[in-house]
Every structure is written in C-alpha cells, then in structure tokens.
Structure 1
Amino acid sequence: MQKSPGKTKFRTSEFTRRQRRSKRGFLGKFASNIQEQTSNSKSRLFIVWGVLIAAGLGLGVNLYNLQIIRGPKLTEYARNQQMVNLRPFMPRRPVVDRNNNLLAIDRPVYTLYAHPKLFDKSNEEIAEQLSPILAKDAPELVKTFESKKSGIVLSPAIPEEIVDRITSLRLNGLELIQKYSRFYPSEDLAADVVGYVNIDRRGQAGVEYSQEKLLERSVQTVRLSRTGTGALMPNYAPEGFLHFDDLRLQLTIDSRLQRIARTALKQKMDEFKAKRGAVIVMDALDGSLLALVSQPTYNPNEYAKANISLFKNWTVADLYEPGSTFKPLNVAIALENGVIKPDDIFNDSGSIRVANYTIKNAMNNGYGRISIAQILQNSSNIGMVQIIQRLKPGIYYNWLERLGLGQKVDTDLPFEVGGRLKSQEEFIASPIEPATTSFGQGFSMTPIQLVQMHGALANGGKLVTPHVVRGLIDTKGQMHDSPTRTVPRQIFSAATAQKVVEMMETVVSEGTGKVSQIPGYRIAGKTGTAQKASPNGGYIKGARITSFVAILPVESPRYVVFALVDEPKGENAYGSTVAAPIVKSVIEALIPLEEIPPSKAMESER
C-alpha cells in the first residue's frame, strides 16, 4: 500500500518545527539560568565585600583602641613582663677590733638536703659515710632517711671545708644549697659587744643591732631584662651593679686585753662562786672602751642555745648601787664647792645619827681623827656623811644631776637604761637621803656610768662618752665614716680631779686596795663592797656586790679599769679580795699593750 507523499512532508516539517521549538526552549532556559546565576554571583560578591569592609573597619577600630587608647597601659604591661626588679644580695660588713682582728664576717655556708628516693646505696651505707662528717649517729641518720622520701634537711649551715668532704664521697641523692651566714671567729670573746644576727640577718644585740646602718651595705634595686622563658639577660645589666665596698666596722676593743680580762674575771668568779661579773677598761681621754667583758656570756655562732637574758649587756642594761666606789666623786663635789679642803680632818667615832637612823662603818669600828685621804683609804662611811653634811642638800642634788645620775649614758651600745635617783623634793626633805648617797647607797646606776664618772677624774674633769665604735675603715686603714659624739662636758676643774686621784692613790699604797699595787707604777683606786638592793625594797640578806675601780698613771691619768663581781660567796668576799686582784691582772696586761712608761718618781726611788 502506497503512502501519501503529502502526509510524509507534513510530518517532516512538524518534526523540524518541534525540534526548533525544543531547541529554542533549551536555549531560553539556559540563558535564563545564566542570567540567574550572574545575578546571584553579584549578590554574593557584594556580601563578601561587605563582610571584608566590616572586618576591616572592626580591625581598624580595634587597632585604634589598642595602639591609641590602651597603648600606654599595654606598653607598661609588656615592660613589666619583660623586666624584673632585682636587689642583689650584699654581704654584711665585717667587724674588726682596734688591731683589725676579725670579730664578725659573712661567710658562705650550705644547707644539706637528702633525697632517699635517689640513693643508689642503702640507707645504712649512706649513713655510715655521712655520720663522721656530720658528727651524727649513723642509726639516727637511718631513721631520718626513712622518715621521708625527699627534701630532708640534714644540716642547715655547713662550712665550705665540710662541704668538700661531702662532695668527695660522690653520693647520689644529696643536695647542697649555698647561702651566707654570719660567723664570729672569736666565739664568746666579745659577744657582749659584737652581738649577733638572727636567721633573717637582722642584728639582735651588741653593735650588730645598734650599728645596723653602718654594717648593712647600701644596695640599689636594678631592672634587668629577661627572656620569654623568664631567664635573666645579664648583658643588659647596668655596669658595676654588683660592686661593693671593702669597708669594715672597726671597734675600739683590744681582743688581747679582752681575753686577759675575761680569764681573770672567770677565775675569781669560780673561786667565789659568783653569780655574774664584769670588767671595763676605758681610755678617759676620749671614752673609747679597750675592753668590756661580761660573764656569763654566750657564743653568737650558737645564739639559739643561749639564755635570752644574756643578750642584753648588763653593764649598760642593769642597775646597781655603787657603794664605796662612788665616794671619790662625792669628795670631788665637796672640793669643787669649797666646803672642804684637802687637808681637813674629821672625827670618825664609828657611828653617826641622822634623823631617826644610825649609820655605821662596814666593819662596825671607828677610825678616830682621819684626813680625807684616810676616809677613802679606810672607806669610812662616817667621814663621808660628815663631808656631805657640809653641802646644802639642794646644791648636792644639782651636782648629782650634773654628773648624770638618773639619766641614760650616751653610748653606742644598745638597751641602755637610765639610773634611778629620788626626786629633788624627796631628797631635800629627808636628811637620810644625802647621808646614804654620800657612801653610794639609796640610788642606782649602770656599771658603764660609774666608769664614765671616774673618767672625769682621770681626764681633768670632763664627762666623755663611753663608746666601742671607731668607725668604718677600708683595707688600707683609712677612716671613711666615724660617729658623731656629744662634746665632753667639763664637770670638775682639772685641779680638783687631780687632787682626788692623788687621794685615791693612797687607797692602793696604804689602804684597802694594796693588792692592786704594781712595782714602778702609781695607781689610784677605790674598793667597794655594797649591799645588794632587793627589787621589792630594802636589801637582800647576805648578798653583796664587790667592785674595784682604778685610775692610772697617777702623774698623768688616762685609763680607768673597773671590775665588778655580783654575789660572791664566802666570808672573805670583799672588793679588796675579789675585784681588786682582777683589776691588777688587767693593768699588768694593759701596761705593755698601751706602752705605759713607769712612773718617774718611782724610777728614781729604785
């Protein structure tokens, strides 16, 4: 069957049209998609640009805030993190005596730690090796090792020579940490003068306390850079920031004389079973103390073991009634006021009535007609009362105040106390007060003050400042800083002072101080055997304080030597038997040390 040609043509054209329409539809859709995608891309681009612009603005604002507004504070924070304030450790200045003998110095020591968990030997083996070096029992060390696994302190301050022995053992599990410790080579020789420093390196007694400003080296705080890990950068340290001076604190004390005085004092204290004692030697020309010994004392290297009461030097911190050693000063007051003359004679009947009281001599005897020199020779209480009765009580009281009674002594030793003297109204109203004061009772003072007053007799009448500090010197001996002291006050005339010293000479040549005689030398002196005052009033029964003060040489007085022994036991315990022999031993050492020539008058007699 034949197909119709017309229909076939139609179908072909229709197909073509459909294809064209289909093609146009596809292209339209494609173009539409392209157009839509182009529009979306522009939107996204605007969004991205918007975000970038906003971020940029935010960053700019933040940068402005950090750099402009908060910039100075942030810079300060950064510098604080990058820099550190450092105050370098500086050793305390050494202390030396007048001859540059070392009395105190900082030295390196080490704290020894044990870490048993790191031991490569048994606890017993380690203990056996360490015990002889540390002076500890091996079994005790073993117990110590078993108490903890680490961080055990075996010794807090080991000197370098011991450290060398420990390191030579080459033991694992031991650690040595270096630090500085104050060391006193002379141990207890001058502890009462030098004092000690505590674990915090602060002075607690003696010149270590009173002269802290001179002993501490001034160190400035420096700022050093450090790395990100915290390590210091020494390259940025200021030049010379670790430099320190070679100055040392020099004292007036002579260690040789100090040692001799201590030996003499201890010998008599042991002999008479005394409670305590002291020896003071002063150059009266300027008040410098050549020796200041106190017993009992302590070792400043082991201050933690000492009785706390020993840290205060009792020669400046405790009061006592001087007794007869004060009589020469009363004689000087009377001479200066013209109420007596050197050749006056008094009658000592053995007792004297004052108000409702009867005063007697220590030996309950009378000496009859005696001169002023003999009153001192025999230590006559009756003669002294008669001398002071010639003075108006008000004038006498004013003189006691001029001498400094009731006041503190101006000294460079710490913890000083002022003496005790009755009020002027009470003193004047009661006749017994001037009477008892005439022979050294009814008031109190420190031993250092009595030495100061006798110094006024030895130097022509001037009251000088007792002191132990010369000043800061360098290694060449040049003085760099010396304390400013009170200008000496003229108390007595030179003529009065010399006359009293010559009277005191008769105490040594003819009176109670004969035991202190030294051939070839003129020595003045005065003994004292006083009742011991009770804190509750009155006097302690059977207790006494013995003392002896000497001035030499008589022809040109300069040195005062004083010994005091508290509560010596025995019937024969007097100033002449206990204290005077101590002073003699000290003077025998003082003569060659200070090169004191023999007295010319005595040289011509030989």
Structure 2
Amino acid sequence: MILITRSRKNVIFMRKSSTKATKINLIAKTLIEKQRSGLRNIRIFFDSDVPELTANMKTRLFLVWGLLVLSGLGLAVNLYNLQIIRGPELRRKARNQQMVGIRPFIPRRPVLDRNLQIVAVDNPVYAFYVHPKLFTKSKRYIAQCLAPVLNQDARDLERKFLKKRSGILIATNLPEEIAHQVMNLRLNGLDLTKKYARFYPQQDLFAEVVGFVNLDRRGQAGVEYSQEKLLERSSETLRISRKGNGLLMPDHAPQGFLHADSLRLQLTIDSRLQRSARSALTAQVKKFNAKRGAVIVMDAWDGSILAMTSHPTYNPNEYSKADISLFRNWTVADLYEPGSTFKPINVAIALEAGAVQADDILNDSGAIRVGKHTIRNAAHKGYGNINIGEIIKYSSNVGMVKIIQKLDPSNYFAWLERIGFGQKVEIDLPFAVASQLKNKEEFINSPIEPATTSFGQGFSITPLQLVQMHGALANGGKLVIPHVVRGLFDSRGQMHDAPNLPKPRQIFSPVITQKVLEMMETVVTDINGTGKAAKIPRYRIAGKTGTAQKASKSGGYQRNAKVTSFVGIIPVELPRYVVLAIVDEPKGKNAYGGTVAAPIVKLVMEALISLEKIPPSQPVNQEEGKG
C-alpha cells in the first residue's frame, strides 16, 4: 500500500509482501504521477521499516481508551452518589430553595349587632413614609401639597423632611380615601404601605361589649378577647413554589389559600336600644355628678343581652388614650352590695320554702334588734302591720328581717347557693367574677348575717348576676345564662356556630314568681311606691328600687357613699324583659334609687316598647286624649 502525505517531506509506504516487479512498476507509476502534480523529495518506506511507529500509535489509542473508560466509571460513581446515596438530602435542599413559606394576612371576621349593623370590621389603612432624597420637587412644595390632604401644617411637615434623608414616618393609620389622595399627587419620594386596622364605626357605643384589639391584632377586652377563636380566621403558614428569580408560582399554590370566608359574628345587642340606654344613663350620671353608672337589658326567656352600657366609657378606635380601668366591663367584673333590689329574690325564696305566705301580716315598728345590732328602715319610721307585698312596696328592712328569721339559717344558706351565690355567671364576656357570701359556718352561727342579707347587704354580687336572678322572676323561675353572642353566620344568614349554653335551671315555681312580680308592680303603680318614677301609662311594670351603702376596703361602710339602682320587669302579664340601672355615688340630698335610677329604666323601657312592639297591658282609656 502506498501512502502519500502532504507534509514537509513527502513519504510513500510500501508493503513488504508485494513482488519486486509489482513494487518497481507501482513506484515508477506513482513517481511519474506525483512529479506531474508538482511533488518533490519523495521518500519510500516498506512495512518493515515502520514497526516502532505502529506500536506508539497503539499505545496512544489504549491510553485514550483507558482515560475514557475511567472517566465514564467516575461519572457513574458520582451519579450513583448523587442520585442514590445523597439523593434525599439534595432533594430536600432543592425543595427548600424552590419553596418559600408565607403566612397570608386574612382580615379578622367582622362583628355585627342583632340587626346586622357593623360593630367591628377590618379596614385597609396605610403607613405613610417620605424619602426626601428621592424628591424631585422642593421640600417646601411637597409640604404645601401634602398639608391640606393630611390636615397638617405645611411648616411642620417641612421641618420633618429635614430630620433625615429617608424613611420619615408621617402617619401610621392613614384612611384609604386619604391615601388615594396622596397617590393622586404623583410626587416622587412618597411611600404608602398597606395594612389592616380594626375599626369600630359605632365608636364608644359598644366598647363594654366588643372591646378592642391591640397592635398585634389580639383581642384585649370584650368579645374581641373572649371570642378570639371565632373572630380570627385560619392563617397557617403555607409552602409555595417560586421561580429562579424569586417570583411565586401561583400554579403550585393550594387552591383557595387566600380565600376569606363570609362568616360574621353576630351579637344579641340592639344598637338602637344600646344608644337609648347610653343617652339616658349619661344624662343622669352627669345630673347627679356620679362616679359611674351602668344599664343592662336582658331577654329573660333565653338570656340574650339586648343592651349593656356603662358611663364613663372609651373609644376603642383610640384605646391608647383611654384610662385602662375602663377596659374592664364592671357589670360583669365588679362586685357590689345590691341593697333593696335583692329583696324580691329573698321573698321568692321564703315563699318557695314555705316560710311565709303571700297574705301573711308582719309588724314593722321601724327598728329591730338582732344580737348586738339594731336594724332600721331607711326612712327611719315604722309601717305597722303590713303584708308581704307592702314590705316590698315600702322597702321595709324590718319586715325583710322578720321574713328571713322564719327560715332556718342552714336552709336559707342552701337556697342562696342554689340561686348561684359563690359562683360566677358563665357569660361569654371575659373577666367575670364570682359573687361572695360569708362561709356557711359563719353565716349560720351569726344571726346578723342572714338579717343583713335579707335586705341586700353583707354580701356582694355583680350587676349581671342580679339581672340573672331577676330574670328567674320574669321567666317562671328559670335561671338562664346571660349571653351577648348570637352565633357565627354567613352572608346568607345561615348559622355555622352557636353558643353552647347550659340548660336553664328551675329554681322557683311559676306561681311563686308571678306573685312576687305582682308585689313588685305596686312599687311602680302605688302613689307611695318607691319606684313610681318608672311608671309608663297603660303598661304593667314590676320594679324595685335600691339604695345601698358602699363597703369600705378597711371594713364597715363608707360615709356619704352609696349605690342607687332600680330593676324593672315588663310586662307583668307576660313578663319577658329585665332592665337594671345602677348609678354609683350620686351626689345630692335627693339621690336615691327611685329618683336617680328609676327614670333611666323608664326611658329605656319606652325605647324597648317601641323597638320590640310590646302591646299595652290595658285597653286605652277613651277619655284620654280629649281636650
């Protein structure tokens, strides 16, 4: 075989096995052809002349092949290590790099009153920052543009712009409409960060019931605190895929992960009645320069609270400016001695226990000696021979002591425990406290304890518990659970969660409660009744006044300090609604339950009659209205 190469020296290889003639002819022919083509200095080699060159080539080929095999083995080993041995670990690391954990913000559920009026809702607000280093206009010009929008002084804004070059906070909770006005200015260097804030459109009207949430969006009082689980929507941290540039991949997001349900927490409170109660209460507190006051309205048939308000109060939209003592709803969290408003409860106990009958006659001389103590009537006079109803009508302390003295002290103590003494009302509002009574041994062995308890002193309960007990007189003897939450409803009105209320306990018979209510009615209807200021023409109202001394922290009672109250039940023929008004430490010589609290109850009941469409108890007198 002849091999011609175009290198610097042209070479011809000839096989040794060829014949001589063949070689000569082939060489001659080849030389002639190559000379014609311009080749010079042609060298001829036979196979035997190049054995060393062929061996080098084989060695090189073997080395290259070996390197390729070793590289392939190395790749295979590395692939096995990555895929099999380290595979789970690397997959986990890759997933962590490709996934991001986010906790989407979901607004807190709104709170509505019984008529679907918004009481609390999450509204979008904006934190407003400025960055003077990015201003393309003068600081003065920008300040003058922002001043009317923010309702701030332009010079004050300009001074703020000089404090630092970036990140100056101008407002923390800018309303959405104001934020849009700022955006429309189209000025560089303005930064608006959207967030949500709890808003209470009724301002202070529902503060005692609803409460407020803090900056961490946690309830601190009212149903915002007690119903946190119902109000806070689920917002668990989610793992979502993202691209190499960090953008989220919505295709890999869980379906509906940003969905906010339409559930709303509905209250039993009626904002219209609440407003009427607030107005009547505030006027009397100011008139008598009182320390504070409260009104509670309850539907005794099911325990729903229709109104619960106190004065003074606070605006939950500006809770940071309020006195922290106002955050506690004192109608459920403070104890007081109810005084004469507790007398009807004691009469019901005595009648139910069979200690007295409704027509029994007792003598009231104006004072009675119990051990070392002398108990007198508030009016410091006696009423002579009076029946049980007159004892309530005249609010006779002496008469009440004589009624309770007919009860065995241990039996009386058992009855007090039965109606809830020593327990707290299981209401759906926070911080409720238990009523307080002397221990059984002290109560039984000390005659003065049952005597003072008979006219509402020597023990303490919350205003709400007194309403609960009077509710038992209004509903035929059942102790219902007061509550302010109606349930969790969707936008179509379908209930998704309802309060799990215990079954009412029967403590009095309907016959006994109706008798007591008729006795309480004379307090309002009789010209000498202490509660005549609560009288409403054509409506039968049962009521009871109370003017109790205030206990002192050091023992005994405070001088010139009292709690005035009035509890009313309407209508007597079909009792349903209980209204309690309390005014703490009213000033003036004519400050009593009948003069301070009874007028409040009258105004509240008039609003209740209108809102609940309560029909008159008696036919309209045709002579009325003439002339």
Per the normalisation by structure 1, the TM-score is 0.91
Asked if 1:205 corresponds to 2:184, the answer is no
Could you give the per-residue CA deviations for residues 29-53 of structure 1, whole angstroms, max 9, x where no partner exists?
Answer: xx9x988887777766666555544
Letter in 2 for 1:235: D
Alpha-carbon separation, structure 1, partners of 2:111 and 2:579: 24
For residue 533 of structure 2, give the secondary structure of its aligned residue in structure 1: helix
Q: Specify which of 561, 578, 581 is matched with residue 543 of structure 1.
A: 561
The one-letter code sitting in structure 2 at the alignment partner of 1:529 is T
1:52, 1:429 → 2: CA distance?
107
Give distance in 2, aligned partners of 1:55 and 1:572: 108
Aligned-residue offset at 1:313: 0.6
Q: Deviations over 1:159-216 (max 9, x none)?
A: 1111122222222211111111111110000111111111111111111111111112
Deviation at 1:63, TM superposition (A): 1.4
CA offset digits 1:493-513 (Å, max 9, x no partner): 000111000000001112100
1:529 aligns with 2:547: yes
More helix by share: 1
Task: For 1:575, give the aligned amino acid.
Answer: G
Aligned to 1:404: 420
Matching residue of 1:571: 589
Counterparts of 1:418-457 in structure 2, within 5 Å, are 418-457=434-473
Q: Is this contact kept in 2: 1:548–1:583, CA < 8 A?
A: yes
1:112 Cα offset (Å): 0.7
Alignment match of 2:571 (pick from 553, 561, 572): 553
Q: How many residues align structurally? A: 577
Q: State which drifts further: 493-502 or 137-146.
A: 137-146
1:284–1:458 CA contact under 8 A, matched in 2: yes
Inter-partner Cα distance in structure 1 for 2:334 and 2:180: 46
Please report how far the alpha carbon of residue 480 of structure 1 lies from its aligned counterpart in structure 2 after TM superposition. 2.5
Give how far 1:406 is off: 1.3
1:385 to 388, 397, 401: 401
Separation in 2 of the partners of 1:541 and 1:54?
A: 105
Structure 1 segment 436-515 matched on structure 2, within 5 A: 436-510=452-526, 511-515=529-533
- Spell out, residue by residue over 1:240-287, the C-alpha distance to the aligned partner (whole angstroms, 9 max, x if none): 333332121111111011001101100011111111110000000000
Check if 1:91 corresponds to 2:91: no
Within-5 A mapping of 1:126-275: 126-219=142-235, 221-275=237-291
Work out the CA distance in 2 between the residues paired with 1:432 and 1:600: 44
SS of equivalent to 2:162: helix
CA shift digits 1:318-364 (9 cap, x unpaired) = 11111110000000000001111111111111111111111111222
* 1:320 matched to 2:332: no
Which residue is 2:324 aligned to? 308
User: CA-to-partner distance for each residue in 1:481-532, whole Å, 9 max, x for gaps?
Assistant: 2111010000100001110000000011121000110001010100001111
Residue type matched to 2:331 in 1? T
2:538 paired residue number: 520
Residue 56 of structure 1, CA deviation: 3.4
Residue 603 (structure 2) pairs with residue 585 (structure 1): yes
Q: Flag the 1:483–1:187 CA change in 2: closer, same or farther, 3 A.
A: same
Instruction: Tell me how far apart the structure 2 counterparts of residues 388 and 99 of structure 1 sit (CA, whole Å).
Output: 45
- Cα distance between partner residues in 2 of 1:138 and 1:379: 66
Distance 2:158 2:558 in 1: 54
Find the aligned partners of 2:496 and 2:622 in 1 and give their Cα distance: 45
Aligned counterpart for 1:331 among listed residues 332, 347, 355: 347
C-alpha separation between the residues in 1 aligned to 2:52 and 2:204?
106
Partner secondary structure for residue 197 of structure 2 = strand
**Deviation readout 1:51-75 (Å, 9 max, x if unpaired):** 5444433332221111111112212
Matches within 5 A, 1:28-67: 51-67=67-83
Matched, 1:293 2:322: no
SS of structure 2 residue aligned to 1:197: coil
* TM superposition shift of 1:562: 0.4
Question: 2:407 & 2:420 partners in 1: Cα distance?
Answer: 19
The Cα offsets for residues 376-404 of structure 1, whole Å up to 9 and x where unpaired, read as 11111111100000000000001000110
**Aligned residue identity for 1:585:** L
Is residue 411–residue 466 contact of structure 1 (8 Å, CA) maintained in 2? yes
Are 2:436 and 1:413 equivalent residues in the alignment?
A: no
- The alignment's TM-score, normalised by the length of structure 2, stands at 0.88
Q: Which amino acid aligns with 1:281?
A: V
Q: Which moved more, 1:383-392 or 1:75-84?
A: 75-84
Which ranges in structure 2 are unaligned for 5 or more consecutive residues?
1-42
Shift of 1:141: 1.8
Name which of structure 1's ranges 165-174 and 149-158 shifts more when overlaid on structure 2. Answer: 165-174
Q: Distance in 1 between matches of 2:171 and 2:564?
A: 45
- Is the Cα contact below 8 Å between 1:521 and 1:602 reproduced in 2? no
Equivalent in 296, 303, 307 of residue 280 of structure 1: 296
Partner SS state of residue 578, structure 1: helix
Q: Give 1:270's aligned amino acid.
A: K
Query: Which residue of structure 2 aligns with residue 5 of structure 1?
Result: none
The AA in structure 2 aligned to 1:355 is G
Distance 1:491 1:602, change over 3 A: farther
Letter in 2 for 1:431: P
